[in-house]
Each structure stands twice: as C-alpha cells, then as structure tokens.
Chains A and B, each alone.
Chain A
Amino acid sequence: MTTEIAVPEDLWEGDTEGVITSWLVSDGAEVAQGDLVAEVMVEKAQYEIEAPLSGRLAIVKEEDEVVAKGSVIATLES
C-alpha cells in the first residue's frame, strides 16, 4: 500500500509557502509511525513533519524545494 506524506493543512497559519530545509531520513529508509522525517521552514520558523505510519520512505520533494500546504513531499510503501 502506498501512502502519501503531505504537508498538513494546519501546520502553520496562513497560506505562505515554505521550503524543505532538511530530510532527517535517507531516501528509501524504513521509518516508524511518528518518526520525525523532515523540517519545513516558513518565514524563519521551522515546522516538523512526522511519518503518519510505518513503511519505506521515498522522497518526492528534495531539500530546498518550495512546498505549500497539502504538497506531497514523500510516499510511504507499507
């Protein structure tokens, strides 16, 4: 089963775009539900993105790429 990891709609206030500053796991790594996987920066504030469930992670949006709320940044194969 493939699950998308999207930027949560309520991660920050307003509709400002953000940028992925760091992936904290490697592409193709096995992650557990709740693991911190990425950081997104919006106007000098950093927000954390966690794995919604366990599985093998495939990165869709690389570091330094611009993301909006709802953007799919990775997929999980479980």
Chain B
Amino acid sequence: MKTASERYAALVRLVESRTVTRATPALLLPAGPYFDLAGEEFGRNLLLTTTNNGVEYCLRPDFTLPIAQQYLEDGMIGVPSAYTYLGPIFRQQHSTPVEYEQAGLELLGQPDADNALDQVLTFARWALAIYDITAPQVRLGGVGLFEAFLEAAEIPPAWRSRIRHRFGHPEALQRLMERLANPEQRVDAPAPDSRDTVIEIVTDAMLSGGLSLIGSRTPEEIADRYLEKQALESAPIPPETVELLQNYLSVAESTSSAFERISEMCKEAGFDFDEPLYQVRNHAAALAALSPNADVIFDASFSPRLDYYTGIVFEMTGADGEVLASGGEYDRMLERLGAGEPIKASGCALWVDRLEREAGQ
C-alpha cells in the first residue's frame, strides 16, 4: 500500500520524465491575458490584486496560459514541444479563495495531432494509475466533429455559426433548438429593405445618438446582420434537419454504439459521416486499449465552454463523480494569444487533491 507522499513522489517522477520539460510559471501573473483569452465567465474565478496604478494581477489560476505564452515569447512556433507542470493554482468559488494542486501536460506544435492526443490520454491514464484509479468514467466529446456535422447536414452557414457558438452551453443551445423547432411565423413580414437604405437609417440613428461610426459596431455590420436575420426568419431550417440535430446532440452512450447511432442517423438523412467519425473512433479505441476497465462514453453535446477548443475533448471522473482529469485539443488557443494562425495543441489538467481523495478511499 503506497502512502500519499509516495504517490506524490511518483507524480513528480511522471512530470519530470526525460521526454518532457517541466515548466514553472510565476505564481503572480498579469490578469489581462486571462480575461482576453477566456472572458468574464472565467475571470470571475480569479483571485485579483491591483497595483497602485490600477494594473490587475492574479494568483496563477492555471498553467496552460502562461506556458503557451512563454512558448510564443521564446519564438518556438514550429518547434514541437512537450511541457509538464505540477504545483498550486488559485481560484475563488462562491467568493471563497481555494488553493488546488494541479498537474498536467501541454503538447504544443506537434506535427502528428492524433499521436499527440493519444500521448495526452496516456499521460492522464498513468497519472490516474499512480492513484490506483484504473476504472475511471471517461467522457469524450467532439468539437471538431460537431462542426463537421453541421456542415455535412447542410445547415446554412449563418445558422451554423449561431449553433456552434452555443455548443457547450446546454441551456443556451436548448433555447436555440426550441427557436429552430418553432420558427416565428411573421405574418407582417416587411418587404426586404435595400442594404443601402438600412445602412443609411442606422447611420442616422448612430449619429443622432452621438455614437462613433468606427469605434464599435459599424452601420454596415448592423445592417448586414439585420438583413441576415430577416433572411433567416424567412428561410428556417427544415424540421427534419432540426430533428437530426437534436438526435445528434442527444447521443451519450458507450462509444461503439454512439458512433454506430450517429453513422446510422446520418445515412438515413442521406449523407455519409463515417470519415469524420473515423478519427474519434480511433482515439476511443486507443483509450480502450490503454484502460480496459474504463467506462468510456461519447457525449455528442459535451464541450468545454471555451471557444479555443477544436478537436476531441475529454473528461475523466472518479467514483464520487468529481472530474479528475480533463483536456483535449485546442488548436485555436495559440492563435488567440497572437500566433497569427491555429497551431496544433493538446493537453490535460489533473486535479491532484481529488486524485488523492480517490486513492485514500
């Protein structure tokens, strides 16, 4: 029987293995980049402190952002890199400060993204094994798969982006689905205005409201969206497509039957979706080989609420339902941080305190 300190020592060995670089970002970090990357919803969890001239700093709330920033600052774009980390992070929850121990892996700029994701899954698997967790619940989600599905189902691009932006937020997505299923019947639909007329009306309204025409939303942007809305309302998504979408999102079951069901429903709808499914099938198989006792499900509606996730995402939970490890592919993160283009990235974060609690049971 291992002790807690032996388990921790084993975790340190995993984090310091020879093929990776252990990163140690500062405890105190500028808060701006976190707000820029993740917005207010994540920002509310930061523990902030302010300098006399009003610049905000936060206690390190995660490792991924400073590691990715360092990668860019060091001019490493194009260089495949593997970073690990282990140490405390700080958040506030319900206005109470909390310190957590977090470990994780970040694979940046790896040429073979599929291989990188399998490495991430392997890392998580090993870390869980240190804590004698061999039969975790694993939830897989497909962000890229959902994007591919929206395209294959021939949902109009304007609706596609609206649906995509609500992915990972069950309530907002549900509301949108209801809206799609019951399109507003506009009996008094006005004849479409010409774009120039709408721009003129908006420009006048902006000027009389004292708004700058360039600082925020422009008259053209407002007019285009206005006309787009009119067009969408007059051309709703066909009911059978809405139903297909709802069926897709309701898939949450063991991987093989989940993929089977998705493949079937797409065939019935008249298109072949096996090619996009192929990749996620492979990762599910790799995971099953790594962790034969794990209970792996594919949940089609599962996605983190951060828009830089791109491919496959996952979550591993233990006996008491707490998330022990989570991660996936986030090729848009380095782009958001200023890389100029999407760069292959995948990784995971492990909640060490929870792992230890599971092991202690």
A and B from one complex: no
B→A interface (CB under 8 Å): none
A→B interface (CB under 8 Å): none
